[in-house]
Structure 1
């Protein structure tokens, strides 16, 4: 019977997020862990007269790993691609190329059944669109960014010529978004980031989740050079080192959460939308406007950010100053 409650969120996705029309082709890319979420989405799509295909793969081994080539090729030919998976495939060539072919993509990484019922999914995404776009536009028009927090973050970035990405869970042809996070983000120029990141909210990957104590990362010329902290910092350090790829330490993204319905719970797409948080993404940046492809993409979340662009404050804690 829980599926009846989950259908509420699935209908929101079909009607509000992807504006599904009868006769359109929907490809649902899932894995063997998330099939129940995929089933509910498929039911909602069939209910609206769509042609639905469900592709099930083995769970990826890590965030950022490409899906099988057969699935990646299919994604290019769908009107709508929905991706409920255990490990994120957001920052992959498969998603980038499907968007370039005109698909409307929505990513549901590590979704739980409850996330289709309550929390961030209950937000009025279209009402949040102008707020999200205003922050993204401010990024796009700016050059120098400084991020500070009461916890100790002090990071400067150059975003000259980089686009601002507005992810508000509503997609047009050629666009992708995550859900239920609402966020504006940008990818800094490679090699430009310097300072310190103090993550004190969440690192929703690798079983780390909500942070017990801060994870501190020193940044020089675009890369993390040192990570310190307690048990959770060691988990992050070990994983990054295991890939033996310097690009895993690349400063790939600055994002700010803008969904008033999201709550911090240790699940990536819920945590990243929380107000008042910001996150620094590390690793792959190709889907955000950067040029780096790494084996991973992780986000380090922090509370109460102040974000200045070209000397003007645009985010002050939970307040958008635009």
Structure 2
């Protein structure tokens, strides 16, 4: 009996090895083609993430070995760093105004384009172009020239006898120039809104018109409720992008967040801590807090979506 049991175990193990070998031979080409992605994912994504988490608990200046300081970086962040509080205020102000304005503008343009006008593909391409160029260094430099003291905006205002300020050098207006730049990049959410509008059945509008509903009432009772899944998706994506905004603030303020830290975005402050002051450990802590902040916002959005996002069911 013991011999038979041992033979059965050996046979089972051999059978399992054979099946595993056949499965490996069957899937090996696929894994081989995925090997570059695995190398990039673990070497350029997972590895740096783990390293930054460790560095957030150290004092590291890129030149000497990291020194373990525990939670000192996080304590300093919330208790002794005024620049951190300023960067949070600037970032939240930017997110609070830029995201709703961009989505509202994108939805308005999408509704206009959805009326079946001629040359629609051309208009879509023209309106989408700012989304491709808006985050570039060249556009940020151009934006700085437009809103400078002798820029295009003030030259236009001078035609009406208005002496405009230097918009990017005045702390009252500098952040708003970046908000306008963000709203100008409405092309990406506009395309998504346009796709969502195309999915709304036209017979619902026809029935509402027969019942005497105005265009405005149709928008609030038909268009917007059926478009809430698209609004939800765009709001999540655009808010995350707004939290991560960096290039325009860096270029327009020359990397300092000036004037008077009025354009000190959180990402710009993080960059300066890491590469201007070589406080890489503290910058890692800032990066992890930003990740936590975006994660909390996203989780809160999903938890509250059941109260205002309406799906087909």
Q: TM-score, normalised by structure 1?
A: 0.22
User: Considering only CA atoms, is the larger Rg found in Structure 1 or Structure 2?
Assistant: 2
Structure ranking higher in helix proportion = 2
